[in-house]
Every structure is written in structure tokens, then in C-alpha cells.
Amino acid sequence: MNKAEFLDRLGVERSEWDRLLAEAGEARMGQAGVEGEWSLKDIIAHVAWHEREMVELFRTRTLAGSDLWQLPTNQRNEAIYQANRSRPLAEVLAEEQELFSQFLEGFESLTDEDLDDPARFADMPPDWVPGKLIAENSYEHYREHTPAIRAWLTK
């Protein structure tokens, strides 16, 4: 996938994500039960954490990131949840919007070659595809959480 195709896909998925959040409304975002005990606010904070990691990748051109990446997925997700669960909704929403803006700005600095060549990022395993990693931590991540949010909204 080239940069233009990635941005198109990101735009479509982000629009759908934003519509879903608007449908839920801020008044309900703190209610537990969207995914287990997680609220929609918790999912937004979780998504923001992943976006922050990609912003760092863009900024440093190094696959370093948080030490939480060393944990199994369930433990990493629990640590992210615990770190954010008592934060005010307004703070989580503002941070995620800012991080998404930084994500877009950082992504603009990439080239088509950057999306395909792991050697363009220090410490990235040679069998990884940077564009795939970035997609998994952005628009594919929205899509991953969408079914649970939709099911919760219909309850």
C-alpha cells in the first residue's frame, strides 16, 4: 500500500470511528461494559496510547517505544487501562484528538518507501512491514474495537 492509499483508508476508517463516538455521545462514554469492564473512554485512551507509539516511531525513526511492548498483549492492555481509567473524559478526548493530529503530521513525513522498508526505521525487524505496523496501530485498531462498541450501543 502506498502513502495515498493508506491516507484514503485512514480517512474512511477515522470518519467511521468519529461517527461511532458521536453516536455514543459523551454522556455515555464513561459507562463500563463496552469490552468487559472497559468503558468507551477506556477504549479511546487505549487507542490513543497506540497512536502515541506511532507518533514516536515517526518522530525518531526508531522502533523503540514503551516498555509495555515487552508484555503479552493482555498484560499490556491491562497496564494501559489501569494508567488511564481514572482520568477525566475531557482529558482523554482532548489527548486523543491531539495525538491523532500529531499522527497525521508525522505520517506526512513518510514516503512510500518508508511504508515498505523496515531498514528505514532503526531496530525494526527486517521481516516487518512498517505500513502494516502503522495500520495495525491506527485504522485497523479502530476497526478491531468497532463491533464491541456497536453491540454496546444496541443494548
- pLDDT category at 144 given cuts 50, 70, 90 is very high
- pLDDT category at 42 given cuts 50, 70, 90 is very high
Per domain, the residue ranges of the chain are 3-153
Name the pTM for this structure: 0.96
**Segment 57-82, tens digit of pLDDT:** 999 999 999 999 999 999 999 999 99
Average pLDDT for the chain = 97
Choose among 47, 8, 50, 79: nearest CA to 145: 47
For 3-153, give the CATH class. Answer: mainly alpha
Q: What percent of the chain has pLDDT over 70?
A: 100
**Segment 96-119, tens digit of pLDDT:** 999 999 999 999 999 999 999 999
Over residues 10-21, mean pLDDT: 97
Over residues 27-50, mean pLDDT: 97
pLDDT number for residue 155: 87
Choose among 66, 49, 56: nearest CA to 109: 56
Contacts 24+ apart (CB under 8 A), 60-63: 60/122, 61/120, 61/121, 61/122, 62/121, 62/122, 62/123, 63/121, 63/122, 63/123, 63/124, 63/125, 63/128
pLDDT number for residue 1: 87
